[in-house]
Every structure is written in structure tokens, then in C-alpha cells.
Amino acid sequence: MTAGDEPEARRVFDLDSIQLLALGGTLVRGTYLSGRKIDPPPKLFLGAVENPGAPPYDHRVDRALKKARAGARFLQLQVSFRPEQLAAFLTEAVAKGLSERCALLPSICLTRSPAALRYIGEHVPGIEVPAELIERCERAPDQEAECFEVAYELAVHARSLPGVAGLHLISFRREAGIARLCERLGIPPRAERETSGYRRRVAV
């Protein structure tokens, strides 16, 4: 909680993420946790998050499988600035059948400056930004353009990995950057996708 924008909020430990997903599945099937019937039952598209770049690395896919078995139909993967960690996670995810049980969506974060990258690395739990990546952007004649290139390269790499169903694109009050990134990746706008027969999966 202290890492968010409401640090005074209180933590709730009644249910962990896997139990909460299981509860969501129970609601969809038409009963409360107490067993009382719900009529009509809610229509929920259950999902969860997972972090390929947080220890213990050897248990991340197994933990994600528990979420999938509990009812998660998609997993939003935490932003990763280390392509090798994402690749290792997805290779194991395919080998263990996780990608067949739910959609895996790597997150790509657009930043405008090396300072923003440094802030993420120092203040956002579970995200490591390599020093050489920050230095690369600092040395660039156009730092904002270089940060965009970093996001583009990470997105291309993520889309090339087995088991990826789409991308989760993040930008802080800079939606135009997401539109530009989609254009660079060759992802047409929704209206065009719906009329052109574009079939490659995409999540934004």
C-alpha cells in the first residue's frame, strides 16, 4: 500500500489473490461464499497479475498456474526491463501449459525521461531497471525519443516470445505515446482491425 498513491489505506488479508479468484468463480456459478444462490449470477472476466522479475523466480510459473486453476482467464505480467527474465518465465509457462489455460499479457511501460526510468527502478517494488539502460537514455541526444525506442524494443521482444497473447501498454497521462507505439508495432486502430480482417491478437 505504501508504494501506491493512497499510503494511508489499510491492508486487507481476508483472502489472498488465489482465494479471491476462486470466490469470483463461485459467484459466476451462481452462489455466494455462504452457499446462498445468486439470481442472476454476475458475468465476470477474471484475471490476475504475476511478476516474472520478482524472487523466488523458480516458483513464479507454478504460482501463476494456481491462479489459472482458480479461475484467472488472463494474467497481466508486471513491467520488465530485463528481457531475459520475461523470456525465461514465458518459456517455462509454455512448457508447463500455463499459456494454454489463460492469456499472458506482458506489460510495456512508456516513459519520457531517464529520470522516470530511475524513479521506477528505485521506488516501484518488483521492478528492476538496469543501470546500463538508464545510461543509454541519458547519453542519447534526444532522451525522450530514446526512451520510446526502449519501449518499442521491449514490445517487439515480448511479442516474439512463445505464449504471448497480447500486450498491456502503460503510459502516464500520455495516451498519444501508446497510439504512436501501436502504429510503430503495426497494430491498426480498433475500427480498422474490425473491418480489415486483422486477426493478430492485441490487448492495450
Q: For 11-20, how does the pLDDT look when each residue is reduced to its tens digit (9 = 90+)?
A: 888 899 999 9
Q: Is 105 helix (H, G, I), strand (E, B) or coil?
A: strand
Give the pTM.
Answer: 0.88
* pLDDT at residue 81 tops 80: yes
> d(Cα 28, Cα 23) in Å, to the nearest integer?
9
| Opening angle at CA 152, ends 150 and 158, nearest 5 | 105
* pLDDT at residue 21 tops 90: yes
Instruction: Kindly report, residue by residue over 53-67, the tens digit of the pLDDT.
Output: 888 888 999 999 999
Residues of the chain with CATH 3.20.20.220: 46-196
Residue 156 Cα distances to 11, 48, 153, 160, 185, angstroms: 37, 23, 5, 6, 7
- How many residues comprise the chain? 204
Average pLDDT over residues 165-183: 88
Query: According to the CATH classification, is domain 46-196 in 3.20.20.220?
Result: yes
pLDDT at 89: 97
pLDDT at 195: 81
Average pLDDT over residues 74-91: 96
Are 107 and 76 in contact by the 8 Å Cβ rule? The answer is yes
User: Cell for 13?
Assistant: 488479508
* pLDDT at residue 202 tops 70: no
